């Protein structure tokens, strides 16, 4: 399974990339705003240089024509750019037009199987169902991933599933078990994936025994 990092935080992306845990990056207007950088194209270019993999930058227009021209501008930032388009009726028009021009598209804000089905038919490279936000309203985010995996498998759609709105380690475990292609993970969740109390306890015991042995050697 590929790991994308869901962030526009350059330092965090650099650190996680160096660990081999960053195959790509997803951003959105809120993540950009969090970093407080107004030169968003420069941020995306810098991320592409670091990651050398797919980097999603989101359009902000609401009509298809505006999404298409914005998407073309975003695609020109770097060969690794993926244009993130909201999954609305207008968004579907833009996805199909951009995909027809060979521009890589990531359909965002997906909350249903039908939305995912429509996205695949536009020829978009990626679909991003938001699991955390579904959980937040009392729905089962990971059940949606299972359904989309099944539907895409039924028809051999090539659109890759990015599990988005990941909030905790179980979202990553379930993504892998369900065979999702990618999970886009906030930097804060990465350390939680490795943490285990038995690892910490075992390491503390090893260090204590090692210290005793050193004491014997020196005494």
Q: Which residues bind ligand E4P (CB under 6 A)?
A: 6, 26, 28, 108, 128, 130, 132-133, 164-165, 184
Q: Which of 2, 17, 84, 93 is catalytic?
A: 84
Residue 17 designated active-site: no
Q: Which two tokens stand for residue 89?
A: 């009726």
Helix (H) or strand (E) holding 107: strand 105-110
Q: How far is the CB of 164 from ligand E4P (least distance, A)?
A: 3
Contacting residues for 183 by C-beta, under 8 A, at least 6 apart: 1, 2, 3, 4, 162, 163, 166, 171, 172, 175, 176
Q: Which is nearer to ligand E4P, 111 or 130 (CB)?
A: 130
Q: Which is nearer to ligand E4P, 59 or 216 (CB)?
A: 59
Q: How far is the CB of 130 from ligand E4P (least distance, A)?
A: 5
What angle, 0 to 180 degrees and rounded to 10, lies between the N-to-C axes of helices 169-178 and 141-155?
20
Asked if 116 contacts 146 with a C-beta cutoff of 8 angstroms, the reply is no
Q: How far is the CB of 91 from ligand E4P (least distance, A)?
A: 14
Q: Which is nearer to ligand E4P, 140 or 209 (CB)?
A: 140
The closest alpha carbon to 163, from 176, 152, 153, 150, belongs to 176
Q: How far is the CB of 155 from ligand E4P (least distance, A)?
A: 24
Q: Which is nearer to ligand E4P, 27 or 122 (CB)?
A: 27
E-strand ranges in 19-103 read 24-26, 55-58, 81-86
Catalytic residues: 84
């Amino acid at each position: 399974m590929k790991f994308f990092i869901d962030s526009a935080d350059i330092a965090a992306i650099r650190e996680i990339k160096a660990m081999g845990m960053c195959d790509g990056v997803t951003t959105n207007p809120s993540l950009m705003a969090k970093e407080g950088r107004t030169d968003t194209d420069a941020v995306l270019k810098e991320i592409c240089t670091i990651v050398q993999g797919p980097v999603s930058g989101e359009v902000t227009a609401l009509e298809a024509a505006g999404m298409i021209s914005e998407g073309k501008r975003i695609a020109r930032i770097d060969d690794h750019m993926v244009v993130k388009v909201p999954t609305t009726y207008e968004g579907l028009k833009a996805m199909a037009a951009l995909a027809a021009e060979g521009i890589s598209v990531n359909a965002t804000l997906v909350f249903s199987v039908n939305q995912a089905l429509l996205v695949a038919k536009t020829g978009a490279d990626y679909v991003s169902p938001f699991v955390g936000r579904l959980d937040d309203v009392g729905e089962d985010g990971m059940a949606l991933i299972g359904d989309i995996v099944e539907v895409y498998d039924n028809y051999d759609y090539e659109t890759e599933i990015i599990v988005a709105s990941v909030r905790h380690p179980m979202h990553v475990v379930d993504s892998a078990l369900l065979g999702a292609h990618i999970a886009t993970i906030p930097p804060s969740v990465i350390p939680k994936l490795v943490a285990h109390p038995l690892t910490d306890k075992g390491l503390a015991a090893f260090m204590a025994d090692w210290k005793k042995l050193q004491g014997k050697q020196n005494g």
